[in-house]
Structure 1
Amino acid sequence: MSTGMKKGTSRREFVRTVAGAAVIGSIAGLDVPAARASGAPENRELLVAPCGLYCGACPMYLATRDKDEAKIKALLGQFSGRDSSMTLADVQCDGCIGGGRVAAFCRKCSMRECAETKPGVTRCADCGDFPCRLVTDFNNDGMLHHAEVLENCRGLRERGIARWTRHEEERWSCPECQARISWYDPKCARCGAARSERLFPLRRG
C-alpha cells in the first residue's frame, strides 16, 4: 500500500516532522460502522491505535476533527520540505482505526497488519505475544510520543479500554480550558496555558 512518501524517505524521518476500517477486537467490544453511525462526535475507543498510541492527541487528527484549514496547511508545510509530493489529503486523519481518512505515514503499519492476521486481536494489548519486537522497536525508535506505547498497552490491559481512554482524554486536555492538546504542543492553543506536567516532556532530560 502506498504511503505517499518519496522513495528513500524513512517512516521515522517522515514522522519526525510532526514534532516541528478496521475491525475492533475483543478489547474494544465495538462495531466500527455502528459506532460511527451513532452520531457521537468523537468515539474514544476508536482513538486507540493498534500500537497503543492515543490518536486523540495527534495533531493531524485534531486539525481534521476541527476542520482547521490553517493548521492542516501548516502541517502540510512541515512535511512538504521532505516530500514535495505530499498533498492536503496526506495530512488529514480520522484516526488509525476510525474507518475514514488515515494520514499517509500511518497507512502502512506493521502492527496493524500483524493484528489483522490474528483472530480476536485489534491492538497489541490484545495479543498473547505482547510485548513483541515490533511494538518494542516502535516504542524505542526515538520519537517522544512513540515511547509511551508499551506503557499504554499495559494500561489498556489493566484498566480496560473504556477507563483508559477516559483517562487519556483527560490527560491530553488543557487543565485550564479543557481544550485538547496535541503531542507536541508546548502550550494550549486556545488559552495559552502551559503544557501539563502529566504529559511527556518535549525535551529529553
Structure 2
Amino acid sequence: MQERVELLAPCGVYCGLCSRYLAAKKPCGGCRGPAAQLAVSCQKCAIRGCVQARGAGGCLTCASWPCKKLLPLYKNYRRRYQVDLPAFVAHIKTVGKPRALAALQESHRCPACGRLFSLQDGCCLHCLKKE
C-alpha cells in the first residue's frame, strides 16, 4: 500500500488511520479534502480553520508550532491512543513525509488482510482483527 501524503492533516494526525476515513459507508475524505466529504467533527475543527485562515500548508511549518490549539489534541492522542504526535512531527521533519508515513503505515498494517488498523478502534475495520 502506498503512503498517501495528502492524508496528513495540518496538525500532524494521519487521516489514513482514522476510523472515519477507513469506514466502508460514508467515509471521510481526510482533513485536506473538500468540506462536503469531511466528517462533521472535521468540518468544525478549529485547527483546520486556523490553517485555512492563515493560508498555510499546515501546522508543521508554522512559526507558532505547537500552539494552544494543538496542545489539547496532542495530549488527547497521547492519553487515548499512546501516540506522541510531536515526536511524529519531528520524525516527519527529519526523514520527510513519504518515509515517515510509510513507516507509520507498516506499523499499523493488519497481518491477516494487509489493510490498515483504525487508530481509534485498535482493529482492522475490514476483517476485525485486533491490533
With the length of structure 2 as denominator, give the TM-score of the two structures: 0.79
Residue correspondences, number: 128
For residue 158 of structure 1, what is the aligned residue in structure 2? 94
CA shift, 1:176, in A, is 4.3
Residues 58-137 of structure 1: pairs in structure 2 closer than 5 A: 58-63=18-23, 68-69=24-25, 92-99=27-34, 101-119=37-55, 121-137=56-72
For residue 7 of structure 2, what is the aligned residue in structure 1? 47
Find the aligned partners of 1:186 and 1:156 in 2 and give their Cα distance: 23
Q: Which residue of 104, 117, 124 corresponds with 1:181? A: 117
* Structure 1 residues 175 and 109: CA distance shift in structure 2, 3 A: same
For residue 149 of structure 1, what is the aligned residue in structure 2? 85
Partner of 2:84, secondary structure, is helix
Higher mean C-alpha deviation, range 164-173 or range 53-62? 164-173
Partner of 2:49, secondary structure, is helix
Alignment gaps of 5+ in structure 2: none
- C-alpha contact (below 8 Å) 2:10/2:57 kept by paired residues: yes
Q: CA RMSD in A?
A: 2.7
* Structure 1 residues 186 and 160: CA distance shift in structure 2, 3 A: closer
Find the aligned partners of 2:57 and 2:20 in 1 and give their Cα distance: 22
Per-residue CA distance 1:141-197 (angstroms, 9 max, x = gap): 4762495332222222122111112122212211343221101334445273x41xx
* Letter in structure 2 aligned against 1:134: K
Find the aligned partners of 2:3 and 2:20 in 1 and give their Cα distance: 17
Partner of 1:140, secondary structure, is helix
Alignment gaps of 5+ in structure 1: 1-40, 70-88, 196-205
With the length of structure 1 as denominator, give the TM-score of the two structures: 0.53
Q: How high is the sequence identity, in percent, across the aligned residues?
A: 28
The structure that has the greater radius of gyration is 1
- C-alpha contact (below 8 Å) 1:47/1:54 kept by paired residues: yes
Find the aligned partners of 2:90 and 2:10 in 1 and give their Cα distance: 13
* Letter in structure 1 aligned against 2:29: D
For residue 127 of structure 2, what is the aligned residue in structure 1? 190
- C-alpha contact (below 8 Å) 2:109/2:117 kept by paired residues: yes
